[in-house]
Structure 1
Amino acid sequence: MDSPSSSSVSSASSSRPVISSGVTSSGLHLTEFVKRPNTGRNGRTVRIQANFFEITQLPNINVQHYDVTITPDVPPLVNRRVFENLVQVFGASDFNASHPVFDGRKNIFSPKMFGFDSKTFEIILPEDRPPPGVTRRLPPRSFRVKIKKAADINLEELHQFLAGKMTLTNNCRTAIMALDVLIRHKPSMTYATVGRSFFTPAGARQISGGVEVWSGFYQSARPTLGKMMINLDVASTAYYQPGPLIELAVKILGLYSPDDLRRAFNNERNRRKLEQAIRGLQVKVIHRAEVRRKFKILKLTPTPASATTFLKDDVRTDVATYFTETYGRGLQFPFLPCVVTGRDIFLPMEICSVIEGQRHVKKLNEVQTADMIKFTCQPPQVRANKIMGGLQVLDFQHNEFLQDFGLKVSHQMMEIGARILPPPMICYHEASNVARFTPRNGAWNLKDKKVAMGATLGSWSVVVFEHERAFPRSSVQKFIRELVVTCVDTGMSIPNATPPITYANPHGDIERQLKDAWLLAGNAVKSQPQLLVCILPNTGVPLYANIKRVSDTIIGIPTQCVQKSHTMNPKKQYCANVCLKINVKLGGMNSFLSPQQTPFLTDRPTILFGADVSHPSPGDNTRPSIASLVGSMDAKAARYAATVRVQTARTETIADLGGMVVELLKTFYQTCGQKPERILFYRDGVSEGQFAEVLRSEVASVRAACTALDINYRPTITFVVVQKRHHARFFPLRREDADNIGNCMAGTVVDTDVVHPYEFDFYLQSHAGLQGTSRPTHYHVLYDENRFSADTLQDFTYKLCHLFARCTRTVSMVPPAFYAHLVAARARFHARGSWSDHESVESSSTSGGGMDDSSYLAVKQELLRVMYFM
């Protein structure tokens, strides 16, 4: 059924709309973004718990803000030890016996004024003082700590902001930062800290490749209407396994025991792989108990310890001989390379031990990622219990720092109001036995349904990347028969049910083999090839990446990759899912919503945009960022066209958004014969700190693109940021309000209690979770000329989540943003050369520069108009 206010946009848009501003009725300009027009009322109301804990006492004191500079420059962990020692030594005299808190870098906050405005201290860390009877080889480290008064932070302004009576001033921002530092200070002094999370090795779980997963907790001070909250969640991250470096090497190289290392290091590739994995790790030596120094691994020697030489007393000797003569012990593994930790400092691997608490920041491989998911995937009730356990660990009630600031925190998880939106009626082809139906619990199937518009597949071929002995032609034909029958049953037309089959070498020339298959497809029926079905032997990325690079950028034909394991005994459901992908790749349409349900789309020509920027992995200094944009091409928002740009690494704003929008507006006009009068823009991948810059830059780019096409062309624009990287989680209170896993029901929306005090944002859990605790998506409206009400935007966004083309489930993120994410991820495969070559270039580079725009091949124009990225 349609929602009561589903037509409110069209009526509001009948005259020229004005921008929804953040101005109150009294004329106070609260925000540069959009003020919440109202709170939603659609749907069934429920009560749920959210992992937010109210700050029940937020005093009106002036918090003292001090700037601190610690010399020499050291990591935050050392800075914290310096600060802790500083307060212990000088607290009573200079710090007014207060409990100041420190962010580990530049900021100190105190509930009391210090006994000075500016002062410099000299500190030597206690651990740098040698134990009795031991002579230090290096002098103890001396730190200079300069502290200077920065500002008084009046918390009254924060109270006004929370009440919706004042804009978010710099003073308010600093006050929220001070609260963040306050709640994180004590655990940061005790545990390993990463950003707003802290971790402990207790209960660490080992995964493959010498990596272990540490559990911990995330916490953040969040402003909501009328109160400050602490968002508390469980967190996990990867660390290197501590202990003997030899054992770590065995695990990184996938060996069984240290005895296998001799054979492994006959291969130079293994030496490079290990060097890349351990570069930057800190180790200690275990052959001399009195040496407490840490060494940082710079690289591995190209020669084994028995052949790595240096000058000792003007005599050249090798490392293995030196250890035998100096320490009276021979090396057990003289055939292994040494780690280089400085100029002419060579340490045999067997005397090195990896220091605990070193975070693994490189990208996890597929096996490690799967292991990580298994470890971190927790049912909702388990996660909720762990969060409450975190509250016990933090013990806010007995935190002397919070007490000194006069802060009190509730020990109960926040109970809030939510609504479960009704699902829309989904439409399939009229010839279906069930042409229209309303799904339940966010999932359905294709039984008795035909796709809304089935494509015709006449010219195609099958490429099997496997030896024919391992996958006989008869088995391939059996799979193809099942796939064809399923596609026809689902509404596609396949006049050629017996495509030619070729066998290819997965390690061979992928481009040549795909071109041969393309020619075979065309020659078989004397027409332009439409599709290549590729059967892959495994889930490895390099082969898949190379197939997509060649098909997307060189041949210009859609490919459908399937795993051999799924084709040996083909299941109807699997073939149906493959059919959904093939149909949209060929320009078909799988399902849609009736015009009455989506007046915003159908009352006037309207385009939906989705945009994303994909950044290279941490530590990757070679690859650029990739910006993607998709746009809907019909009034049903079921088909999309795409465009991609390569831009400077880690730049969040889209550099050529104007040019990308022009492309898609032209494609829309060529497809529909009309110019869009309304634009709804869903932007993925923007953090709160980037809202202002993205709004300023990207809305202007969209507007400029419109006027570039026609000086008088001014469609109304709504710009919505889509966020998945947050820690809000919801837990149903009643069993009847939960799905079968225990998550909130698909369609759960929250726009009160834990949202912004007055800006237009909401959380929508649009999907039914398959495992673990579902993460709602956060939508934040930055700009709105279409005058959306809360109900209309929430309802429309939820309905769109039923139209993701490659599955019969609602998805967790609105499809335009989801598609943009897929397009950007696909573009990663379009770098010149084979994927395996590209990976080695990427991982071996340690300096800036590297790949630029010219390294990436453009997607063929004929593919950009269909959903090739599915």
Structure 2
Amino acid sequence: MSASGSRGRGRGKRFSRSATGPPEPYRSQSMAIIPEKFHQLNIDNNIPSRPPSFSTTTTTTTSSGRKSNGEQRKSTSRSSNGIIYLERFSRSATGPPEPYRSQSMAIIPEKFHQLNIDNNIPSRPPSFSTTTTTTTSSGRKSNGEQRKSTSRSSNGRAKSTRPFRETIRSAVPESAIVTFARRPDQGGSAGYKLKVNTNHFKCNIPQTLHCHQYDIELQTANRDGTWRPSKKDDRFVVLRKIIERENFPLVWYDEGKSLYSVELLVGLKDQYEITIKDKKSDREQTYRLLIINLVKSYDIQVLWDFIENKIAIRPRDPIRILETLLKQTTRATMVSVKNQFYDRRQTLDDLGDGRGLAGGFYQAMFLTKLGATININSTFTCFYQPFNLVHFLCEYLQHDIVRDGINDREQQLLLRKVLKPIWLETHHGENIRKYRIRGFGASARQHTFARVVDGNSDDSQERQSVYDYFVEKYNIQLEFPNLPTVELYTPPNKTQFHYLPMECCTIQAWQRSIKPLTTDQRARVTKKTVVNPTHRYQAIMDIVKTRKFNEDKYVNEIGMSIVDDQMVTVSARCIAPPEIKYKSGRDGQSDIVERINIGKWNLRNRFQTTKTINRWACVMVSSQKPNQNQLSIAKQFIDQFPLIISQYGIYFNSSPIMNSDPANSETIHNRLQELKEQNCEVVVFILNGVGEDIYKLIKYFGNQKLGIVTQCTDFVAIAKNIRSKKLDMYLQNLVQKFNAKLGGVNGMVSLARALTSSSTKDDVFMFFGADVTHITCSREKPSIAAIVGSVDSTSTQYASRVGEQYPARGKISLEIIKDLYQMSTDLLKLFAQRNHCFPNKIVFYRDGVDDGHFQKVLDNEIRALQNACKALYLNNPLPKITFIIVKKRHNTRFFIRDPQTGNMNNVQPGTIVDTDIVHPQGFDFYLNSHAAIQGTSRPILYHVLYDEIGFSSDEIQSLTYYLCHSDVRCTKAVSVPAPVHYAHLAAYQSRDADSYDNDRSTTDDFDDNDLVENVGAVTLQEVETRLIQLDPTIQDTMWYV
């Protein structure tokens, strides 16, 4: 019952870009937050100027005889106010093409990439050779050629490799080029002070403690006397039995290849064997432990050195060793998912598609200003139910497969969406065997193979069905012989396949599922997991009580202890919210400040800037033909829509073009095409009983193919609000997005009020937000990288650039945004086009970065951004950059006790913690900017990694808090700054960009000057990217809101 086969995968073509001339710049009249005086633009030649601190004559001759930029300019002139205006370039007819085609690339001539000899601005070639075999200056061959050779050990034997389940490798080399910013003061002082409880527990670690790491291997005996690596599920049990039998000193194990101890294991043998009887089959199995060598010894004193600012680098290995020790007593009854633990004895809360929800806890060690702490939090995650495969597939497909069967489309869906990464178990033989699934075969009655005689099979012999084989071999009468068999393999052997009946396979228990939840499942999970602060506080205290840290034998043996079983109390401050200005009066000429109350404010006045719409349409898209009542409700909405939104300053000069269409791709495309030809500026879609796929189609056609603004709204929500006479409240949220997409400004937040000492009135700020969404690590589903940048004087309108990042081969992680140079270049140009100047200060908020990737992201992305500025600013002073990591996924929570009831409450919006539990040296802080609608609020942790601007703690905290109030989608403070939220929205909206577009071509214009030199087997050039192009009329709008 075996087969073999191989597969191959093609790679998409790379495309080359042709050079295009820049369009004429848009001449903006507004420069509000910071004056027009700085960086004025000479409109005649589109060259930005900067205040002078440099010579205006820079005549240099390049190696080719061409004179440099300084001499190409005809002359310079200085105005009475000291601002330099640069004369026109003498443009050459040739030059490298632009790295990223967009309608917004306006200001800089085509030759801006050429090398400026005076200031060493690197040139960027238009394309790169795909040949990877080169020789470095040291004579070392590059990655392309190195991979062809075989790695050999010192004794000349080829080293073995593990072909299956390689760890996720990084395409970004390790580096430490840019130093992290340090806290500029003792913390902020603005706002009123208060005390809050946090779910950290102070622990005591002996400073004299030493730990030793040993490299070990656990192996299982084969029948022929050879040995194979033991399965992960067996290792901990086997090692524990050997330790007990041999009376080892205190040791602890990471379930991989490392054993730790506080004593040197000098008296132990190199090898131990043990035979263990399987409880089910009563069969004995022999294992052995190999203690290979002492890898390293660690002095735990380095933890205290870091806390006391004696060393700069966080000692990750000693922390990992102590965290591994804390996990030892939970291994017997708990499933470990990194630092999360789930009790195996619990019953999963069924979610209806073969998955269930489990409750557990998070536990991790932190080094803070206060010292070492243990962070504890209650957690939930999804696991696959340990169902029989037949039951599992019925649950997933939502129908009875025994009665209905599984068609080819469903088989492909199952393989693509759920089955391939899942482990299956079989229990019909003497031993439990584990497999992965490759595909489906014929039914057990129909699938035949050559009968096995004396362990051999031959195709010329009599053939036997799978059904007959199970009757003959195992005396099992299959219950569902007409269901397809499953084609299985045992990793790492992918050449031998086994065809087994579905009913003989079971989903292995406690396999975590990271698939997205459906809308109904999210609602069920939210109901279970969202708990108020009092209940969460009590759940955490119950976890600490159950864990009994100070009774843990491992903790006691090394002299470690939890100082107090109560949460740490820390100092906090609550700062004031910003001012938000709208337009008041019938003519909308005067400003009015809305009052913010607990993170919210009312929308009672006109927007700051709006647009009059000359032609628009409303289309109702329905899954079934709408009845008269539904059409009547849609008509009421269309009649009231213009009247209600006119209150905010948006006017329509015509009645809408009205249509009702069925929900299919061709009809939607044709309708939008027709409306585009009729010069419609915006189309409002009423979605009646349709799924998310129709919404995605509308956005795809509107944003990418046809270039027409679309606004979708839900029919059920409209009907509900019309019946309750709350349509005006519903349209408040809709109209805010509507105005932003049309280029308007809703409310204006006075960001300048946050800046006191680090900035002047002449500074021109630009704000960036960036995020990388990792859908999965595969060629089929790339990561989505999105960057947004403010492009108007109020820092309210943001343009976006989005790209896909494809792993080169296998599982290769790319933590950085590879095309950040191209994306930021384009956004800087757009800023200058609209504001007649470049910014002199850039604040960059970066989301989606784990702690271990801070250095890589900082080194590579700062360099790429700086190179983009060098290429655009030429000889002018470069902008100062502040780079901030925004960390949402952490487990620190804050609680404040009500003095009257004793219950725990959420902290107020504006609460900041920048003492006690923060980094001992770094510039970080917690900010809770929003009011939680339900459950316990989660503060955001901000790490200021790079700060050329020189913000004080109060300034960067206030600026960040103010930006949380500038989100155009709502009238409340959100949990993260608006540019971060916009980047996330742009990435999320683009996650299916290639589902409708088969152009999987990739960019090949990446320059090593933007990134640290690579030193691994995987280069950044091998990580392919595709910049997602929208229609030119949509590209630079806020289409993603």
Match of 1:694 among 857, 862, 866: 857
Provide the residue aligned with 2:694 in structure 1.
Answer: 543
**3-state SS of the aligned residue for 1:307?**
coil
2:582 counterpart of 1:428? yes
Within a 5 Å distance, the mapping from 1:83-482 to structure 2 comes to 83-90=239-246, 92=247, 95=248, 97-98=249-250, 100-115=251-266, 120-124=270-274, 126-128=276-278, 134=282, 140=285, 142-168=287-313, 172-201=315-344, 202-255=346-399, 260-265=400-405, 267-276=407-416, 277-285=418-426, 288=428, 291-313=430-452, 314-324=461-471, 330-342=477-489, 343=496, 345-409=498-562, 410-431=564-585, 435-446=592-603, 448-466=604-622, 467-470=624-627, 472-482=630-640
What is the CA-CA distance between 1:589 and the residue it aligns to? 0.6
CA distance in 1, matches of 2:1023, 2:668: 22
Deviations 1:552-589 (A, max 9, x none): 11111221111121122442222111101110000001
Task: State the distance in 1 between where 2:279 and 2:407 align.
Answer: 45
* Aligned-pair identity (%): 29
1:461-495 per-position Cα deviation (integer Å, ceiling 9, x unaligned): 12222144347543322112222222111221222
Q: Secondary structure at the match of 1:568?
A: helix
Residue 644 of structure 2, aligned match among 477, 483, 486: 486
> Which deviations, in whole Å up to 9, do the C-alpha atoms of 1:402-428 show, x marking residues without a partner?
111110013111111111111122111
Structure having the higher Rg: 2
Answer with 583-592 or 821-830: which moved more. Answer: 821-830
Does structure 1 retain, via aligned residues, the 8 Å contact 2:354–2:387?
no
Residue 776 of structure 2 aligns with which residue?
A: 617
Distance in 1 of aligned mates of 2:844 and 2:665: 43
Matched, 1:36 2:187: no
Q: Secondary structure at the match of 2:409?
A: helix
Aligned length: 804
SS in 1 for 2:584: coil
Contact preservation (8 Å) 1:160, 1:166: yes
Match of 1:639 among 786, 797, 817: 797
Are 1:298 and 1:341, in contact at CA under 8 Å, matched by a contact in 2?
yes
In structure 2, which of residues 663, 666, 669 is the aligned counterpart of residue 509 of structure 1?
666
Shift in CA distance, 861/89, structure 1 to aligned 2, threshold 3 Å:
farther
Provide the rounded CA distance (Å) in 2 between the counterparts of 1:266 and 1:228: 55
Q: Could you tell me which of 735, 745, 748 is aligned with 2:908?
A: 745
How many Å apart are 1:774 and its aligned residue?
1.4
Q: CA 1:135 to 1:645, structure 2 compared with 1: closer, same or farther past 3 Å?
A: closer
Secondary structure of the residue that 2:842 maps to in structure 1? strand
Is the 2:965–2:974 contact (alpha carbons within 8 Å) kept by the matching residues of 1?
A: yes
Q: 2:936 is paired with a residue of what secondary structure? A: coil
CA apart distance, 1:601: 9.0
AA aligned to 1:358 is Q
Residue 323 to residue 73, structure 1, CA distance change in 2 (3 Å): closer
Asked if 2 retains the 8 angstrom alpha-carbon contact of 1:610 and 1:817, the reply is yes
Cα 1:135–1:33 change in 2 (3 A) is closer
Task: Provide the rounded CA distance (Å) in 1 between the counterparts of 2:625 and 2:780.
Answer: 39
Counterpart CA distance in 1 for 2:543 and 2:561 is 16
Give the secondary-structure state (helix, strand or coil) at the position aligned to 1:561: strand
Offset at 1:367? 3.2
Task: State whether residues 225 and 754 of structure 1, in contact with CA within 8 Å, keep that contact through their aligned partners in structure 2.
Answer: yes
Name the structure 1 match of 2:1009.
none
Q: Deviations over 1:197-242 (max 9, x none)?
A: 1112415311120111111111111000141011111111111112
Amino acid paired to 2:443 = P
**Separation in 2 of the partners of 1:856 and 1:596?**
34
The whole-number CA distance in structure 1 between the counterparts of 2:850 and 2:1023 is: 25
Residue 860 of structure 1 aligns with an amino acid whose one-letter code is D
Decide whether aligned partners of structure 1 residues 444 and 539 sit closer, same or farther in structure 2, where only a CA change above 3 A counts: farther
Does the Cα contact within 8 Å between 2:1029 and 2:1035 map onto a contact in 1?
Answer: no
Q: Deviations over 1:113-170 (max 9, x none)?
A: 2125x96324446255886xx567xxx353452342122211222212111232226x
**Cα deviation, residue 641, structure 1:** 1.2
1:588 to 723, 744, 749: 744
The Cα offsets for residues 93-112 of structure 1, whole Å up to 9 and x where unpaired, read as xx4x22x2222223332222
Selected match of 1:553 from 704, 707, 722: 704
Q: 1:684 to 1:572 in 2, by over 3 A?
A: same
* Alpha-carbon spacing, 1:857–1:659, altered in 2? closer, same or farther (3 Å): closer
- CA drift at 1:261: 2.1
Q: Is the 8 A contact 1:657 1:701 kept in 2?
A: yes
For the residue of structure 2 that corresponds to 1:212, the secondary structure is strand
Displacement, 1:263? 4.3
Paired residues of 2:218 and 2:287 also in contact (CA < 8 A): no
In structure 2, the CA distance between the partners of 1:514 and 1:76, relative to structure 1 (3 Å rule), is: farther
| Distance in 1, Cα, partners of 2:271 & 2:420 | 35
713-722 or 345-354, which deviates more = 345-354
2:84 maps to none
Q: Secondary structure at the match of 1:231?
A: strand
Aligned mates of 1:271, 1:183 — CA distance in 2: 43
Q: Pick one of 943, 965, 977 that aligns with 1:814.
A: 977
Partner of 1:763: 926
Q: Could you tell me which residue of structure 1 aligns to residue 9 of structure 2?
A: none
CA contact (8 A) 2:534 2:904 kept: no
Question: How far does the alpha carbon of each residue in 1:511-568 deviate from its partner, in whole angstroms, 9 at most, with x for none?
Answer: 633433423xx52xxxx33212122234633222222122111111221111121122
CA distance in 1, matches of 2:439, 2:404: 15
- SS of 1:830's equivalent? coil
Contact 2:886 2:940 in 1 (8 A): yes
Q: Distance in 1 between matches of 2:774 and 2:1033?
A: 26
Alignment gaps of 5+ in structure 2: 1-32, 35-50, 54-175, 220-227, 453-460, 490-495, 722-726, 808-812, 1001-1021
Which residue of the other structure, out of 579, 585, 591, is the alignment partner of 2:735? Answer: 579
Letter in 1 for 2:547: L
Query: Which ranges in structure 1 are unaligned for 5 or more consecutive residues?
Result: 1-5, 8-13, 17-28, 838-850
Equivalents in 1 of 2:704, 2:280: separation in Å?
63
Aligned equivalents of 2:665 and 2:838: distance in 1?
47
CA distance, structure 2, for counterparts of residue 451 and residue 699 of structure 1: 36
Q: Judge conservation of contact 1:463–1:517 (CA < 8 Å) in 2.
A: no
* Aligned residue number for residue 786 of structure 1: 949
Do the aligned residues in 2 keep the contact of 1:30 with 1:167 (CA within 8 Å)?
A: no
Question: Which 10-residue stretch deviates more, 708-717 or 142-151?
Answer: 142-151
Does the C-alpha gap of structure 1 residues 572 and 120 become closer, same or farther in structure 2, counting only changes over 3 Å? Answer: farther
**Partner residue of 1:720?**
884
- TM-score normalised according to structure 1 size: 0.86
Contact 2:575 2:958 in 1 (8 A): yes
CA shift at 1:784, angstroms? 0.5
* Cα offset, 1:449, TM superposition: 1.8
Quote the Cα distance in structure 2 between the aligned partners of 1:776 and 1:707.
Answer: 36
| Secondary structure class of the residue paired with 1:60 | coil
- Rounded to whole Å, the distance in 1 between the matches of 2:211 and 2:178 is 25
Q: Quote the Cα distance in structure 2 between the aligned partners of 1:330 and 1:858.
A: 58
Deviates more, 1:425-434 or 1:103-112: 425-434
